[in-house]
């Protein structure tokens, strides 16, 4: 089992996108990349903690390779938008890849360069690629949020 951590705007839709991948064991939504310990949704949304809304993905590399996860990451948001996705604005919605190994970093950087060179994005990719930091699991009502809304 390996771990991958991505920020691509509001974590609810990003979580749903990764849950659909064969070989993904679990996805949790939370916060990473900030300065405070045990941040809350309200703290993060206030923009004072420096955290991004992220998904923490546990995956089986033989079934769902890191490259496949990156394809989903690029497809589920606009990596050319700085601190914004759709109506959501602020650094908590930034495009970011938190790598967990030198191999993940190399694959992420190569994938970003390839996507930029492909002409399939309009503008310059602003995605941060940075070492993984502490992951703070979001409050339980945020986990599987879209699934809960469909059931309710």
CB 54 within 8 A of CB 5: yes
Indicate which residue of 5, 6, 10, 66 is catalytic. Answer: 10
Question: How many whole angstroms separate alpha carbon 5 and alpha carbon 58?
Answer: 9
Q: Round to whole Å and give the CA distance between 122 and 119.
A: 7
Residue (of 129, 126, 124) closest to 107 by Cα position:
129
Handedness of CA 6, 11, 13, 16 (dihedral sign): positive
10 is catalytic: yes
Helix (H) or strand (E) holding 102: helix 102-118
Q: Is 1 exposed, middle or buried (0-12, 13-18, 19+ CB in 10 A)?
A: exposed
Active site amino acids = 10
């Amino acid at each position: 089992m390996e771990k991958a951590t991505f920020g691509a705007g509001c974590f609810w839709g990003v979580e749903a996108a990764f849950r659909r991948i064969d070989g993904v064991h679990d996805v949790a939504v939370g916060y990473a990349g900030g300065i405070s310990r045990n941040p809350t949704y309200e703290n993060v949304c206030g923009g004072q903690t420096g955290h991004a809304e992220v998904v923490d993905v546990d995956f089986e590399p033989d079934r769902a390779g890191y490259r496949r996860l990156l394809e989903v990451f690029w497809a589920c948001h606009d990596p050319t938008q700085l601190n914004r996705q759709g109506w959501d604005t602020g650094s908590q919605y930034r495009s970011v890849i938190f790598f967990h190994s030198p191999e993940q970093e190399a694959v992420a950087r190569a994938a970003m360069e390839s996507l930029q060179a492909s002409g399939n994005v309009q503008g310059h990719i602003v995605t941060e690629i940075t070492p993984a930091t502490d992951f703070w699991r979001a409050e339980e009502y945020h986990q599987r949020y879209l699934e809960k809304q469909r059931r309710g």
